[in-house]
Every structure is written in C-alpha cells, then in structure tokens.
Structure 1
Amino acid sequence: MIKEKHLLSSFVFDKKYQICRHVLFIMFAAVITFNQVLIAYQDCQVFLGNYLYLIGGSSLLTYLIIMYFNYFYLTPKFLLRDRILSYLIITMICMLCLPLLSLWIEYGVRNWANLNHRIADYSSPLILVDILSTSVITLICFCGISLILLYRTWSLANQHVSVLEIEHLTSELNKLKGQITPEFLSRALYHASLWTIKDPQTTNDILLKLSELLRYQLYDAQQEKTLLNSELLYVTKFISLEKRCRPVLEYRLKIDKPQMYHQISPMLLLTLVQSFIKKSNTLEISSNVENNMLTFICKSHSITRALDDQLTSIRKRLDLTYSDQYILQLETGSITLKLALSK
C-alpha cells in the first residue's frame, strides 16, 4: 500500500495547493526584489517617491518572467530530459542578464532624474564581482525551483512504479491462488450422475458439497484473507467429498479449533491438501494453533514427483503473501506448513 503524503509534501506537489504555492512564491520574490530596490536607491528615496514602486514592480516582473521561464520551459524541456549542458548554459546566461539588467535600469533612472550615481565607475572590475555574487544568489533560487521539479518528477515516477509493482504482485498472486482442479470436478460430477437413479439423496449431497466448495472458491477466495475456521471447514468438506467419489481413500483428521480472529490466505490449505491427496489413498491431517503460529501437517504413504510442481506454485504464493513468516517442509510421506497468522 502506498503511504499517505506528508503535509509539507502535499503542499509542495498537490494540484489543489497550486495557487497557494504561486502566491507564496510571488510574495517571497516581491520582498526580496523591493528590498534590493530600496538598498539601491536609499540615497534618493524621498526624491523618487512613488516611482520606487514602479521600479520595484518592473524588477519583480523581470525576475518572475525569468523564474517562470525556468519553471515551465527550461527545467521540463532540458533538465528533466537529461539535456543538462544546454540547461546550464541557458541558465548561466539568464543569471548574468538579471543583474546586468538591474544595473542598466538603475543607470537609466539616475540619468533621467539627474541624480548622483551610486556607482562611480560602471566599468570597474568590482562591478563584475558584484554581478557574479548576485548571480550566485539568483542561481540558488533557480536551483531550488529545479530541485522541487526534479523531486516531484522522481516522486511521481516512484509512485507509478510502486503502483505497477502492486498490480503485478496482485496479478501474480491471483494466478497462484488455488482452484478446485478440473479432474476433481469431473470425478465428482461423474459419481453424482452414477447415483442419480440408485440413490438421489447421495447425488444431492455430492452436488451440495461441490456447490459449497465452488462458492467458496468464487467468493471467499477473492478476498485477501479469510477466517482460518472457514478454510479448515472447507478442507474437511473437500476430503469428505473426495471420500464419496473415491471410497478407497482412508483419512484421519485431527484439527484443533482455532480462535475466531485467526485469518489466513484463502484456498492455501485446500490447495495443499488437494495436491497431496491427488495420488494417495491414505491421508492424515493435523492442525493446531499456538501463539498465533499455525502448524498444518499432511501425511501419507506415498508422494509422487507430480507433487513437486504443485509445491513450487504454493511456495511462490507463500513468498508473495507471507514472505519470511512461514516454513514449508517436504519429507518422505509428509508435508509440514508452519505459518504466522494474522488477526
């Protein structure tokens, strides 16, 4: 299951907070921009008056255009497509243009208003140092925006992969879920037809038990978990029906009744018994639960090679459902399953 997003993560990435994010970003950019304007024109704030707001607004608009150009075009078209060199070149050009544009605006405003220039020599090497330092600060803002987009892309891709993995595991698990074998169905229906004339009641009993097993397979087996009591009940019904269809089968059951809250993956034990009983005329089954640990044992006089394929699919299902919470042991004449139960 995919975890719920953290509040901060939701605010940064969810579409419902998109307007709030942009408003917050514009307010943050406005504070920084107007602070820079006030510092640049602190010697003539009284003279410029309301023109300071016009200068600050034009500077803010310039910065926002470049920032959103990076957000909507540069990062998606270059950085996210691994065109890193092109992205760096264009970004550096933008970073150098912004402080140069600010100096050009300041130079034009002071000439227009016949004010003394804050910078005595615009060709001084110190101007280059100032431009570079300002570019680095702006670059940090750019990198912050780009990193957010990179992280969002990575997060969405990671979430997509997680969803695909869950869907794949679910599909794989559904394919591995046990089913009543066609051989058993054919045998049950055949014996039901034999008793139709001789003993209709026996036919009814066979068909009733078969319908209960099929109903369990069609409905309960579609759930992720089922009650252990239900699984053991249908194991008993399956063996009883097999006995009806194959009178030579001798079986003995020793099943301790588990607690009502114990749950298990449906059709797991039934599939195990079905695989084990296929070519055996004797069967002993014992089941008990202790400290939320199920011990399920099937014993018989013979185990054929045909059982190996069935155990492979059962083991795969156990790996997907219970991971390292089970032990499946195959010995001559017996299978033992130890399983940690859920509540």
Structure 2
Amino acid sequence: MLGVVLLLLSPLSWRMGEIDLPVEYWWKQAFLVLLLLFIFYTNQSFVVPRVLLKGKTYTYLLMAIIGGILFYFIIVYFEQLIQYPLRMHETFNPDRPFDPKRRWIPGDVFQEMLYLLSVGLSTSLALVQKWQKDEEHRQELEKQRIKTELSYLKAQINPHFFFNTLNNIYSLTNLDVKKAQEALLKLSRMMRYVLYENQKETTLLSKEVDFIRDYIELMKMRLTDKVKLHIQLDEADDNHIIAPMLLLPFLENSFKHGISSQKESDIYIKLEIMGNTVFFETRNQIFPTNPDSPEAKEHGIGLVNTQRRLSLLYPGKHRLKFGKDEENQEYYVNLTLNLE
C-alpha cells in the first residue's frame, strides 16, 4: 500500500498540463516497488532474525549501509538499461541538450529515503514479531509453571487433610463405634469430593460449602462440651464457582490449634456471600503446643499453601489477613474473595 501511494498514485497528481509521462517512468516505478518489497521481506524474514537478533548489531548496520549503496547502483543501472534519464529529459526539457552524466540529486535522495524506510519498517516488524513470540512462549511457560505449582500445592493440602481426619476417626474407635461408623460415611462422601472435584480447576461454591459443613460435622463428633462452635454459613447457589478445597486449611487450623483438653474454647466460623463476593472468617483461641510434636511442625503449612494458591488463582481479586490478636488472645483469618 505504501508503495502504491508513494510510487504510483503520487506521480498522477503532479502531471504537468498535457504532458504524459513516458512509459519508461512506469517501468522504473514498478521496478522500484518490486525492489523495495524484496528488501523489506528479505530484511524482515532473514537478515534481522539471523543477524540482528543474534546480537551482531555492527554487522547488521554494515550490511544495511552496503545494501543502501547496492540499492543506489542497481537503480542507476536499471535506469541506464531502459534509457530512463533520456526519456525524462525529452519529456520535460526537450529544448536543452541532454547530459547523460548529470543526475537529479533530489530524486536519488528520495529513493535512498525509501530504502531506509523499507529497512526501518521491516526491522520494526521483525522485532515486534519476535517480541510477540517471546511473550507467547513466556505466557505458556508461566501457565505450565502455575499448573505444576498448583498441583504441588494441592498435593500438599490433601495428605494434610486426610492425616488429621483419620486421626480423628482413630480416636473415635476407642470411644464410640457408632460415631466412628458415621464418621467413615461422612469421610467417604468428602473423599468423593476430593477425588473428583479437586481434580478440576473450579467447582461450584455450593459444593464447597457442603464440603465445609461435612467437615465441621465430622469434627463435632470428637469435640467435648468444653468446645463451643459458632457457625454461620450462607446458602450458596449454583451461579458461583471457586477453586476446590480452598478454604479447608483455615478450618483445619481452627480445629487443630484452637482446642484444649483442659480449658474451654470457642471457635468462630463465618461464610457470608454478597453478590459475587465471599467473606470468610475464622477465629479461635491460641493454645500452646509441644514444639516437638508433629502438629507444631506442620502448623501453618496449609495456610501458607493456600495463600500461594490465592495469589496464583485470584491475583488482585482477594484480600487475606491472618495473625494473632494479642488483645483477645485469638488467632484470626479474614478472607475477602471476588468470584467474578
């Protein structure tokens, strides 16, 4: 399009009176367009990728300069071959003698500018294409990295969950066989959720809430009267989706570290749904644990992993705060999650 505008249409706008341009002029223009096209695509497809993008900057600049010189002499040779200077002189200056050694300097400068424009545009195009390919490759690597990392994080969460749950059921077998059987039934339903839903990228929020309820009911079976649960879970519809088992580590930590065998304790669990936003909160007392126990060593593993999952799956769409409230001697977790 640029060649058509500059080399073919523009001359038609400055035809002088009844003077018709000689056919040699159009031959020269057509040759110039083809030559510039050859330079454009050769530079874009071969020279830039194999020279400039390989770090050979000075070699590329030298090739561009040599190319400009060759471009000039090729045009001069073609003009002499078709007798272009003579025909243009006869058209515009028929009363003056023709000097074959005399060149029209502005025309030569204009042609060299076209050469530089062709090289510049083709170089820019090649660099943009290289940047696009690198960006696509980077995004693909980032997707694979995130996918691998999420699989690793979920693999850490699942054994963490089953370890605690099986310990609970094992404790019930020595106290109440019927409750242990009920716990196994609930665990089997939860396992189906873990095996099928956790393999997906997302699941219905309603299924996640049902999973939370089952988990809480399972925990209730081993709690004594010293533990008071304050549960508030909103009903979820089927219009919202969420990453599976995203909230489980918060629940695990509440039951694992907020219960004492000697003192009374309170656990607060709240899930509120407002439009596309989910507000999740847990609070529990802080009871010291044996620093050599497995619980102490595993403390925070699920919470840290979930924090990482949130940063990968919901960048800019979540706000997570957790820590110790020294005034009330409580550990709290506040999560605000936008599911849009």
Structure 1 length-normalised TM:
0.71
**Which amino acid letter does the alignment assign opposite residue 316 of structure 1?**
R
1:276-321 C-alpha deviation (Å, 9 max, x unpaired)? 3235345523314264351412313515454244433233233334
- Structure 2 CA distance, aligned partners of 1:231 and 1:106? 79
Deviation at 1:120, TM superposition (A): 4.8
* Of 153, 176, 198, the match for 2:130: 153
Counterpart-to-counterpart distance in 1, 2:166 and 2:273: 38
Q: Does 1:272 align with 2:255?
A: no
Residue 268 of structure 1 aligns to a residue whose secondary structure is coil
| Shift in Å, 1:272 | 1.4
Report the secondary structure of 1:222's partner residue.
Answer: coil
Letter in 1 for 2:158: Q
Residues 47 and 202 (structure 1), Cα distance of their counterparts in 2 relative to 1, 3 Å cut: closer
Q: Secondary structure at the match of 1:267?
A: coil
The answer on whether the counterparts of 1:243 and 1:249 sit within 8 Å (CA) in structure 2 is: no
Shift of 1:165: 2.0
Contact 1:192–1:207, Cα closer than 8 Å, also in 2: no
1:56: Cα distance to partner?
5.0
Greater Cα offset, 111-120 or 154-163 = 111-120
Structure 2: stretches of 5+ with no match in the other structure: 290-295
67, 73, 83: which is aligned to 2:56?
Answer: 83
Q: Deviations over 1:124-153 (max 9, x none)?
A: 5x6556423321222112211221111111
Matches within 5 A, 1:4-153: 28-29=2-3, 32-34=6-8, 56-110=29-83, 120-121=98-99, 123=101, 127=104, 130-153=107-130
Q: Is the CA contact (8 Å cut-off) linking 2:202 and 2:244 kept in structure 1? A: yes
Query: 2:176 matched to 1:179?
Result: no
Q: Letter of the aligned partner of 1:326 in structure 2? A: R
Once residues 294 and 133 of structure 1 are traced to their aligned partners in structure 2, the CA distance between those partners, rounded to angstroms, is: 67
| Contact 1:37/1:56 (<8 A) preserved | no
Alpha-carbon separation, structure 1, partners of 2:41 and 2:122: 9
Q: How far apart, in 1, do the equivalents of 2:9 and 2:312 lie?
A: 59
Distance 1:278 1:143, change over 3 A: same
Does the Cα contact within 8 Å between 2:39 and 2:118 map onto a contact in 1? no
CA RMSD of aligned residues (A): 4.1
Match of 1:13 in 2: none
Aligned match of 1:311 in 277, 281, 303?
303
**Correspondence for 1:300:** 285
Q: Gaps spanning 5+ residues in structure 1: where?
A: 1-24
Counting matched residue pairs gives 312
Q: What is the identity, as a one-letter code, of the residue corresponding to 1:300? A: Q
**CA distance in 2: counterparts of 1:47 and 1:302, whole angstroms:** 98
Could you state the TM-score of these two structures normalised by the residue count of structure 2?
Answer: 0.72
CA contact (8 A) 2:25 2:84 kept: no
Q: For residue 216 of structure 1, report the CA deviation from its aligned partner.
A: 1.5
Distance 1:309 1:193, change over 3 A: closer
Higher helix share: 1
